[in-house]
Amino acid sequence: MQEDSPVQNENTPDTAPTEQPRHSRRRNRLIVLGAAALLALGLGGVIVATTGNDHPAPAAVSLDAQSRNEAASRADRSVRESSTPATPSVSPTPSPSATSASPTPTKTAAAKAKPTPKKTSKPTPAWVDPMPGAAVTSCYGQRWGTLHAGIDLALPSGTPIRAAASGTVTQAGDAADGYGNSVFIDHGKGYLTHYAHQSRIAVTVGQAVKAGQVIGYEGATGDATGPHLHFEVHQGMWNQIDPAPFMRARGVDLGC
């Protein structure tokens, strides 16, 4: 009689699979996740430590890795800032009070001082009044039946008598015919002037005189009733003409 072989159940597998313990599978899963985290952060040296229980204790991150991360962040920021165009700074306009006053320019030796204008006296006219301010006591013309051949000018005795124009003294002394002390001056072009009745003569014959120069002093020598100057103009010696229009034509008014 043949022994029957044991009958195997069709649903029973030939070899039962070996089941891994639960804590071993969890440990492997944590290792895979830790490696992935390290790759994502680019950090190295992170070690995941596991314990014998189901809750592994993660190891601390290295401080050196954190320092490198901050340095990389600063470097990245500096690159971005350097690539941004800098806004030009505008210097503030200094206020007038802040600016120093400009120094007063000093006079250099090269600078020439303005020449001081010379005080010049007014030039003497060619013809002047022989006795300025005198009173007219008699004009040229007929007087007492005879020709009064000049103009009489009166001031106190000793008043200076001046040359009516520049010229040369031709006579100085007593001229006779009642003129007393007299001076004759030749002015050229045939014209002469005569100054009579002087108390004192101040020039000599042949002396050159200028207009307004003192030639003597008023008196009453000769035929004179009082001190005065008898002034004549000759157009040729002893050819007396009226002094009033002659002197007026030359800018001098003798009052006649």
Rounded CA separation 125/17 (Å)? 157
- Specify the range with the lowest mean pLDDT, choosing from 65-74, 103-112, 165-174: 103-112
Q: Of 73-77, 94-98, 208-212, where does mean pLDDT reach its minimum?
A: 94-98
Beta bridge partners of 232: 194
Mean of the pLDDT values across residues 191-218?
98
**What is the C-alpha separation between 7 and 21, in angstroms, rounded?**
32
Q: Where are the alpha helices (DSSP H) in 42-95?
A: 63-83
Task: Answer yes or no: are the C-beta atoms of 163 and 252 closer than 8 Å.
Answer: no
The per-residue pLDDT for 144 is 85
Q: How many residues does the chain have?
A: 256
115-164: pLDDT as tens digits: 776 766 778 799 999 999 999 999 999 988 899 999 999 999 999 999 99
User: Which residue pairs, CB below 8 angstroms and at least 24 apart, start in 176-180?
Assistant: 178/222, 178/223, 179/222, 179/223, 179/230, 180/219, 180/220, 180/221, 180/222, 180/223, 180/224
Contact call for residues 158 and 233 (beta carbons, < 8 A): no
For residues 173 and 182, what is the distance between their CA atoms, to the nearest angstrom? Answer: 5
Show the CA angle centred on residue 127, arms to residues 155 and 181, nearest 5°. 45
- Contacts of 103 by beta carbon, 8 Å cutoff, 6+ apart: none
Q: Tell me, what's the pLDDT at 216?
A: 98
* Average pLDDT score over residue span 183-187: 98
Spatial distance between the Cα atoms of 183 and 205, rounded to a whole number of angstroms: 9
Residue 247 has pLDDT above 90, yes or no: yes
What domains sit in the chain, N to C, each tagged with a CATH number?
21-64 (no CATH), 135-248 (2.70.70.10)
- The beta-strand segments (E) located in 37-166 are 135-138, 141-143, 146-148, 151-154, 160-162
Question: Could you give the angle at the alpha carbon of 75 between the alpha carbons of 69 and 76, nearest 5°?
Answer: 90
Helix then strand then coil, % of the chain, to nearest 5:
20, 25, 55
